[in-house]
Amino acid sequence: MMLMTFFSRARQLLDLPRTYRVLTRLFVDGRVPSWLKFTTVAAAFLIISPLDIFSDIPFLGPLDDIALLMLLAQTFISMCPRDAVADANGFARSAAVIKNVTPQE
C-alpha cells in the first residue's frame, strides 16, 4: 500500500506542468464562472499567507502549503465546465471534429 501511494504522489508531481498549463488556460477561458476564479485566487492567497497555523511544526509548514495548493488546483479543475476542461487539456470536442469530416461539394 505504501508503494502505491509513493507512485501516485510521484505521478502527481510529474503532472505539475500539465496541471499548470490547464489552470492557466481555464483562468483565461470565458466559460469558467468569475466567482470560481475569484474564490480560487482568494483561497490560494489564504494558503500562502504568512498567517499559517502549522508554521510552528517543523517540516509540516511548507508541506501542508504545497499539498493544499495541489488540492485547490484539483478542486478548481473539477468544478470547471467539462467542455472547458477538455479544451484546456487539448482534447477537441467530437462535434467539431465530425463537422469537419464531410467533404465540400
pLDDT bracket for residue 48 (50, 70, 90): confident
* pTM check: above 0.75: no
Residue 4: CB atoms within 10 Å: 8
Angle CA 65–16–18, to nearest 5: 145
pLDDT above 70 covers what percent of the chain?
Answer: 63
Name the residue with higher pLDDT: 80 or 64: 80
